[in-house]
């Protein structure tokens, strides 16, 4: 789960500031390059393959922008980043004149995705000591996690919610069916302040983990947006890991 879009000028936090940890640029590898977001331990047989989105991202474009440092590992996989950002981040709501005002910052508590039967608690996630993004513990694979250094759902910016696709112990996990979402589906996130932020899915895409679109997911946005991330694609039995990340891009709606 990583991401990188290159039409934005900086790989920033919720207000576009560059991410730094202990004085160095944060490496957003999301720990999913290993067994991170899959819950894969040693398996005797491959797990059931989760539903896959129709949209498969194109060849990677890994060149850094002049104003943003190159991120090791995952990089943009949009073919042409401009087109990808236009579809993933700038897709208009059904009626732009009714676009909702941004909400103040408030931590999310639960996420509901009716199309795929998700109604899950959300825990707070941060960064590991090595600068990678935390993921929910495998023993809590039915819970989702919110990347707290970024925007909260409903704030201006890209709010990021992460979850496992499956677990060797539990089987299908919280976002097992994420790849079956379609444009127009709704995602609701309840918040600690008692409000609910409702988002409409713009698109769902699958990205190779070696070409994760970091800035499209974690970079700045001019409006309240949501990215829901899990693993997907082919399961590599030898590494105990899925080869892709599945990402749902959504925008807040009235």
Q: What angle do CA 157, 160, 165 make, to 5 degrees?
A: 160
Q: What is the rounded end-to-end Cα distance, in angstroms, of the chain?
A: 28
- Chain segment 69-83, per-residue pLDDT in tens: 222 222 222 222 223
Q: What is the CATH number of the domain that holds 217?
A: 2.40.260.10
- Chain segment 97-141, per-residue pLDDT in tens: 566 899 999 999 999 999 999 999 999 999 999 999 999 999 999
Determine, yes or no, domain membership for 15: no
For residue 162, the enclosing domain spans 20-252
Compute the radius of gyration of the chain from its Cα atoms.
Answer: 16
- Chain segment 205-254, per-residue pLDDT in tens: 999 999 999 999 999 999 999 999 999 998 988 888 899 999 999 999 98
User: Would the pTM count as exceeding 0.85?
Assistant: no
Of 2, 43, 22, 1, whose CA–CA distance to 214 is shortest? Answer: 2
Determine, yes or no, domain membership for 187: yes
Determine, yes or no, domain membership for 95: yes
Distance CA 246, CA 178 (A): 7
Q: Please, what is the average pLDDT of the chain? A: 75
pLDDT at residue number 223: 95
**Displacement of CA 86 from its chain's centroid (Å):** 17
Average confidence (pLDDT) over 151-160: 98
Determine, yes or no, domain membership for 14: no
pLDDT at residue number 240: 84
- Confirm if 26 and 20 have CB atoms less than 8 A apart: yes
Determine, yes or no, domain membership for 49: yes
- Chain segment 16-60, per-residue pLDDT in tens: 333 333 333 344 444 443 334 644 444 555 567 788 887 655 443
- Percent of the chain past pLDDT 90, that is, above it, reads 56
- Confirm if 61 and 215 have CB atoms less than 8 A apart: no
pLDDT at residue number 237: 87
Determine, yes or no, domain membership for 205: yes
Determine, yes or no, domain membership for 9: no
Q: How many domains in the chain?
A: 1
Q: What are phi and psi of 133, to 5 degrees?
A: -80, 135
- Confirm if 243 and 231 have CB atoms less than 8 A apart: no
């Amino acid at each position: 789960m990583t991401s990188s879009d290159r039409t934005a000028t900086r790989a920033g936090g919720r207000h576009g500031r560059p991410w730094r940890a202990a004085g160095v640029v944060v490496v957003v590898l999301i720990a999913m390059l290993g067994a991170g977001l899959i819950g894969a331990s040693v398996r005797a047989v491959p797990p059931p393959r989760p539903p896959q989105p129709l949209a498969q991202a194109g060849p990677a474009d890994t060149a850094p922008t002049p104003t943003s440092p190159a991120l090791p590992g995952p990089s943009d996989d949009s073919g042409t980043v401009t087109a990808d950002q236009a579809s993933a981040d700038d897709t208009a709501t059904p009626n732009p004149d009714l676009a909702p005002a941004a909400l103040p910052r408030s931590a999310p508590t639960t996420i509901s995705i009716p199309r795929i039967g998700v109604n899950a608690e959300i825990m707070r996630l941060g960064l590991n000591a090595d600068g990678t993004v935390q993921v929910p513990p495998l023993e809590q694979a039915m819970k989702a996690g919110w990347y707290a250094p970024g925007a909260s759902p409903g704030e201006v910016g890209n709010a990021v919610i992460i979850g496992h696709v499956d677990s060797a112990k539990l089987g299908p996990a919280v976002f097992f069916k994420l790849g079956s979402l379609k444009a127009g589906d709704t995602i609701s996130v309840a918040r600690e302040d008692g409000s609910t932020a409702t988002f409409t899915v713009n698109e769902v895409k699958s990205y190779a983990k070696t070409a994760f679109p970091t800035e499209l997911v974690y970079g700045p946005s001019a409006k309240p947006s949501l990215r829901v991330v899990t693993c997907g694609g082919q399961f590599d039995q030898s590494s105990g890991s899925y080869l892709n990340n599945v990402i749902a891009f959504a925008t807040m709606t009235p």
